[in-house]
Amino acid sequence: MSTTEIWRRGYPGEFRRQVRIFGFYFAQFVKMRLAYRMDFFIDTLAVSFSSLVQLVILATLFSKVEALRGWSFPQVLFIYGFSLVPLGLFNLTSINLYRFSDKFIIQGKFDRVLLRPLNTLAQVMFESFNVSGFNEIFLGLGIMIFAGMKLQLTWGVEDVLALLILAPSASLVFTGVFLGITSVSFWHEDRMGLAPPVYNVIRFSRYPITIFGAPVRFFMTFVLPFAWVAFYPATWFIGSPEFSRWAFLTPLVGGIVFGGAVLIWRRGVANYASTGS
């Protein structure tokens, strides 16, 4: 179908309509979430405390050494801060991916999704939100600013634009990996899921990949590509000439990983058989 035909059939208008609907999803969820402000406050503290504990461990480590395989404390801190931004973007809309098998497949709620004239993947991801993702985004930006001051970085317009491109692209890597895992539920109903052990690997992405051995570097770059969610894009800002040239491959990697996961999802939707209950 040509571009002219797509515009003639009103696809842009339909896209805006669906975006507007999912905007209402988010607004309604926030209203419901803020109705229980103490729970919201406790969740915020829990996420912040977890991140602060990891920062204390990092600071303790560098109190014993001046550098980690050539990486200074401010550089490692910057990479850590950057990692929180795409992670927060991912966590904001990923909550239903973790419980998809149990909630949508085993309980049969995916039938309801198929009855609506909206994108199935968007419905699943935007039905619930994890607002604690905002905490990770703001904390990550704060850490980046602090580490940047220590590194005497000067932020220009091109750096801000790079952040606006690289952080969402890195979040697509997260989303693609876990969407691919989630899509397996269409063929194998697994209550526990594969997501928890894979999620634990994320912590390794918060450090320079060069501190690991060659097998781990290969695995984190090409197999489970979490090196692209922090290390490679962050090197654009901290000026590592050896790796910064790879930073702008992040959108390509994010597009490939997420696009591949969407194809698996669509195949799974076509394979889905109702529970009949």
The predicted-structure confidence for 181-219, as pLDDT tens digits, reads as follows 999 888 886 655 677 788 888 888 888 999 899 999 999
Quote the pLDDT of residue 2. 39
Label residue 239 left, alpha or beta by phi (over 0 means left) and psi (-120 to 50 means alpha).
Answer: left
Amino acid in position 191: R
In a domain, 230, yes or no: yes
Quote the pLDDT of residue 86. 95
pLDDT tens per residue, range 142-170? 999 999 999 999 888 999 999 999 999 99
- Of all residues in the chain, what percent carry a pLDDT higher than 70? 74
Quote the pLDDT of residue 234. 94
Residue 2: how many CB atoms within 10 A of its CB?
7
- As a whole number, the mean pLDDT across the chain is 82
Label residue 119 by pLDDT band (50, 70, 90): confident
In a domain, 189, yes or no: yes
Query: Is the per-residue pLDDT at 262 higher than 90?
Result: yes
Amino acid in position 193: G
pTM equals 0.83
CA atoms of 130 and 93, how far apart (whole Å): 6
How many separate domains does the chain show? 1
| Mean pLDDT within 20-37 | 64
Lowest mean pLDDT: which of 42-46, 56-60, 70-74? Answer: 42-46
In a domain, 126, yes or no: yes
Amino acid in position 192: M
Quote the pLDDT of residue 256. 97
**Which tokens hold the place of 73?**
């404390």
pLDDT tens per residue, range 219-250? 999 999 999 999 999 999 987 777 888 898 99
Alpha helical stretches, state H, the chain: 3-8, 11-34, 37-62, 73-93, 95-98, 100, 110-115, 120-126, 132-150, 157-183, 195-200, 214-218, 231-238, 250-271
In a domain, 221, yes or no: yes
In a domain, 1, yes or no: no
**Which tokens hold the place of 198?**
């894979």
Residue 6: how many CB atoms within 10 A of its CB?
11
Label residue 3 by pLDDT band (50, 70, 90): very low
CB 90 within 8 A of CB 174: yes
CA atoms of 191 and 107, how far apart (whole Å): 11
In a domain, 18, yes or no: no
Angle between helix axes 157-183 and 73-93 (nearest 10 degrees) is: 50
Query: Is the per-residue pLDDT at 23 higher than 80?
Result: no
Range of the domain at 195: 36-271
In a domain, 209, yes or no: yes
Quote the pLDDT of residue 178. 93
